[in-house]
Chain A
Amino acid sequence: MTFLEFTEGPMFYFAAALFVVAGLWRLVGIVRLGKKPDLAPARGSAATGFLKGNLRHFFPRGLFAQRTWMHLLGGYGFHLGLFVLFFFAAPHIAFIEKFTGLSWPALPRWGFIIAAEIAFAGLIVLWVRRFSDPVMRLISDWDDHVGTWLTFIVMLTGCLALQEAHDSLRAIHMLSVNIWLIYFPFSRLMHAFTFFLSRGATGANYGRKGMNP
């Protein structure tokens, strides 16, 4: 078994399984903590509030945008860029097709380059702010930095592997992906899933009050 076969085979299966099991464990663990039923008569719907809360926080509020513009640029740039790379890079689609049989049109090469540049720029802006901005410096911990670095390495090795010229580059990318997958469910990277719960909780509480802030 070559190193590439190992990282795309047994190691990937292990990392992916751990990602799914530990990730679900964590989400179920949060939900299982439960919540007492709210006895105050509702003025609006909690369920609608849950959904509205989730949608509302995808968009910045004009009043604050001026104060947080750098974050907005970095945050949207990184997340949208990463999303596009993750789902529309040709090798990713091929990889997913190998396991699921599902396929969809890939980004042209120039599209990949633009998405990658935007994602890198966004991630770097966010990371630089993490140690240069006094607020972010104070509240950041090692998990924030490790998560950023692992994601950066995954993206970087992914770009290097794009040419598919060398198996070793692809193997290094897969190795970093596997480490990232193993780290993910134990870290703050889980915000990719927990955001739904937290926005929903606030949305539901406000929804009962007939508000949608």
Chain B
Amino acid sequence: MSETSKAQTAIDTLVNQIDRDIASYLEACVHCGECAEACHFYEATHDPKYTPTYKLFPLVKAYKKHKAPLRWITQIFGAPDEITEEELRDWEELVYDSCTMCGRCTLVCPMGIDIAGTIRKVREGYAAADIVPEGLAQARANVERTSSPMGVTARALLKQVEHQEEDTGLKIPVDVEGADYLALLSSHEIMASPEIIGAYAKIFDRAGVSWTLSTEAYEATNVGVQIGSGPLARQLVQRVVDEAERLGVKYVISPECGHAYGAIRWAGPNLIGRSFKFEVLHILELLDKLRAEGRIPPGERDTRKMTLHDPCQIVRRGGLLKEPRRLLDDACSNFVEMKGAGVTNYCCGGGGGVSANQRAEDLMIGAFGKKLEQIDDLGNIDAVVVPCANCRGVFEDGLFELDRDEIEVVSLGQLVADTLADDPKTAK
């Protein structure tokens, strides 16, 4: 792509992204700067360039030039310049490295502006012009090859399934047509914590749930959503939809991964332009439902002092606030909440593709420091329950870098499996 056409492609795509909601946001911003006070990147660095609204500059410029109502009058007094490739490149770091699309800034904004959703639109322009960080470009290349951002193949998945079958002594169903539930996983889970597959097997066996994994659609993460490419995001959702509909499942289970949930549950039908023939449930929603139905009775609770990290895309932007808490109450006898728990919780610092972008690592660790302060305020926490595989990766890196790896990082699904009543009759 030539220099001018890159900028032009970005501008055309940006302009196409602007609908009523985005225009309302760009029009309503009063430049008060309050959003900076809620953004972990600003809080960690105190660098004004990390002010959320400032990150939207390329879109603001395109809007004023091409879309703003009354621009034919205001432009009499000076038409805004067209955004240049140089400006796009200058803003690339702000658009990709310093926004996890966590949505915390919206809470403090007097105008209620959804910066996270708007950054997602800005990234569309960047992805179309192929001005993207190397780490995300690599993840995209891996996805094109294997459907997984980490390059995890179906063979690798089957190997892990085999190990888990040996460990649990349970048969793990794969590619079973007519099962009720199709469980998706994230690459991070398959490679770094495959025990979660065994945990699912244990829980579903106890609950009598008919489920399956698929060698066609095992990957839940959606690099298209992170990088900002609608076409790629659509392709990845379509792959899951095709397989789920081929297998004839009633439900698709989104794993403990924040953005994967948003991608399939909230964006999915809009990406492919139609409703699904199945329902999407987050694994925490399903576990909470099974628990409420008495199908997975809790047993002896874990006594470690634990707190809960709220993954932004599952809780604040996903709507699942109570489910993880109910599950944790049953699984842990010493569960304490952080200040600001729930909708106002801090992001881990590595969502929205930031953790896949090596260039952003220092910034990410800095932002994670805010999360750690929140945890430290509770005093002597033994373990943090983190129901998102991506966040868990960030926690592990952050705790290691900050020399705090005495704090354990735990999956909620795993914890539920570990604290199931051995014998339903002895359940509490």
Contacts and interface: CB of A to CB of B under 8 A. Distances in A.
A63 B339 contact: yes
A33 B18 contact: yes
Interface string B43-63: 000001101011000000000
A67 B112 CA distance: 18
A135 interface: yes
A191 interface: yes
A211 B321 contact: yes
Nearest to B116: A202
Interface in A124-147: 126, 130, 133-141, 144
A198 B107 contact: no
A68 B33 CA distance: 9
Interface stretch (A39-47, A158-166, A173-181): A39-47
A112 to B, nearest CB: 26
B73 A186 contact: yes
Report whether over half of chain A's contact residues are helix, strand or loop; otherwise say mixed.
helix
B48 A135 contact: yes
B266 interface: yes
B24 A30 contact: yes
Contacts, number: 173
B316 to A, nearest CB: 6
B284 to A, nearest CB: 14
Interface residues of B, number: 60
Of listed A39, A60, A139, residue having the most chain B CB within 10 A: A139
Given A25-B70, A133-B33, A198-B24, 12 more contacts: A22-B73, A29-B68, A29-B69, A33-B67, A40-B268, A140-B31, A191-B28, A195-B110, A199-B28, A199-B111, A201-B24, A211-B321
Nearest to A61: B107
A139 B54 CA distance: 6
Of listed A28, A29, A40, A68, residue having the most chain B CB within 10 A: A40
Given A201-B21, A201-B24, A26 B69 contact: yes
A71 interface: yes
A77 interface: no
B197 interface: no
Nearest to A39: B269
Interface residues of A, number: 62
A98 interface: no
A67 B51 contact: no
Interface string A168-195: 0000000000000000011010110011
Interface of B: 18-21, 23-25, 27-34, 36-38, 42, 48-49, 51, 53-54, 67-70, 73-74, 103, 106-114, 117, 265-270, 273-275, 279, 316-319, 321, 339-340, 343-344
B48 A134 contact: yes
B34 A71 contact: yes
A71 B34 CA distance: 8
Contacts of A186: 70, 73-74
20 contacts: A33-B19, A33-B20, A33-B23, A38-B270, A39-B274, A40-B270, A54-B112, A61-B108, A61-B344, A64-B344, A135-B42, A136-B33, A186-B73, A191-B29, A200-B24, A201-B20, A201-B112, A202-B114, A205-B21, A213-B107
Contacts of B111: 57, 191, 194-195, 198-199
A81 interface: no
A44 B27 CA distance: 27
Interface string A197-213: 11111110110011101
Contacts of B108: 60-61, 64, 68
B106 A213 contact: yes
Contact of B106 (A26, A134, A202): A202
A53 interface: yes
A194 B24 contact: yes
B202 to A, nearest CB: 29
Contact of A188 (B30, B37, B113, B340): B30
Contacts of A105: none
Contact of B20 (A35, A134, A144): A35
A6 B39 CA distance: 50
A91 interface: no
Interface in A1-47: 22, 25-26, 28-36, 38-41, 43-44
B117 A205 contact: yes
A67 B38 CA distance: 9
